[in-house]
Amino acid sequence: MITGVRPTGFLTIGNYLGAIKPLLESAEDGTAVFVADLHGLTDADPSTVAKYRLEVVRDYLALGVDSSRFYLYLQSAIGRETALCASYLSPLMSVAELLRVPTLKDKVKGGGPESANVALLNYPILMAADIFLQQASLVPVGEDQLAHLEVARVLATRFNRLYGHDGSRVLIEPKPLALKSLRILSLNGEGKMSKSNPAGAIFLTDSSAVVSKKIKSAVTALPGEMNPNLESLFLIGTLLSENDETRTKFEEFMTNHLAGEKVMGYFKNLLIEVVNRFLDLFQRERKLYSNEDILEILEEGKDKAREKARSVLSDMERAMGF
Ligand code: TYM
């Protein structure tokens, strides 16, 4: 398994629920957990990425990513291997195919491909390289990354078909971990919860007062009605609940709401309580890791990641006859 996050800001509850929680629930020892700092350069300036990359490692550790079971590293620490792998993959895909990737379409919005930088176009190829180099077959990701995983699958299939002698598989075709990936929505109703829309996102570093304010003004539905925003709030509540009793309370609120009762105020109060309890624990845990601890963990992780990456690159080169 492998998981990665771009260090373009502090992590959100969406990052945790979409990618990190599923990883922690099913990962085996030896899983790769990395910070996608090269991917961060597609739409953030280098100094921002440099500022947040150690913070993201601190977030991972505080969330329970145990460095004795998993190896943590910065993508840039094996940047040469990653770039080389991406170079070997690039000829296997056309520009037209990359232009059809929905995330690119979303990012350029009205601007058209003329306004997209080349890094944005190459994004899925670089992501495929991350996955192949660590020989991951399962990738816990939120729904927004499924199209990128599909590109990786296509690339692996093409590479194996072209260069896998006697039907051997040089690259592993990766799959999403969950049958149904999560999509946590923005609190203020505009698309998915993301670091780039801070008002609609709950950051893991938010104070309890900020969380309370954001949830109180979150979009819900009229009594008797359901919509994707309320469903998403309900998911946040049940997934962060520490026990069955709290989960049952959320379910009761939903039943009563659908029956036409006015319970949104109570529902939000419980949600605030549950989110703040989770964040409080996380924030206390976060303070336990010094920069020195983090650098040491990354140094160890880099060695392991590089060793794997070099071995995969040699397999690729041998297969390609290059
Ligand atoms: P990034 O930094 O955008 O997000 C990190 C992970 O969090 C998930 N996520 C969400 N899940 C549910 N609801 C949301 N609102 C939400 N917001 C974010 C994302 O789906 C993602 O799993 N391209 C990746 C980083 C990456 C990567 C990789 C991941 C680079 N190479 C190789 C896995 C394997 C990204 O931009 O993540």
List 192, 214, 268, 308, catalytic entry: 192
Choosing among 3.40.50.150, 3.40.50.620, 1.10.10.60, 1.10.3720.10, the CATH entry for 2-183+290-320 is: 3.40.50.620
Provide the pLDDT for residue 60.
Answer: 96
CB of 141 sitting under 6 A from ligand 1: yes
Residue 223, class by beta-carbon neighbours within 10 Å (0-12 exposed, 13-18 middle, 19+ buried)? middle
CATH architecture of the domain covering 198-285:
Orthogonal Bundle (1.10)
pLDDT in tens, 165-182: 887 899 999 999 987 889
CB of 131 sitting under 6 A from ligand 1: yes
Pocket test for ligand 1, best of 5, 34, 186 (most atoms within 8 A of CB): 5
CA distance linking residue 274 with residue 80, whole number of Å: 43
pLDDT in tens, 215-266: 999 999 999 999 999 999 999 999 999 999 999 999 999 999 999 999 999 9
Atom of ligand 1 nearest to the CA of 144: 20
Give, using CA atoms, the residue closest to atom 26 of ligand 1: 4
**Nearest to residue 41, comparing CAs of 132, 128, 118?**
118
Domain ranges of the chain: 2-183+290-320, 198-285
φ, ψ for residue 122, nearest 5 deg: -80, -10
CB of 302 sitting under 6 A from ligand 1: no
CB of 139 sitting under 6 A from ligand 1: yes
Token digits of residue 75:
């993508």
* Section 19-25 average pLDDT: 92
Q: Is the dihedral of CA 63, 140, 189, 238 positive or negative?
A: negative
Q: In DSSP terms, which residues pair with 5 in a beta bridge?
A: 35
Would you call 216 a catalytic residue per the annotation? Answer: no
Same fold for the domain at 2-183+290-320 and the one at 198-285? no
- Longest pairwise C-alpha distance within the chain: 69
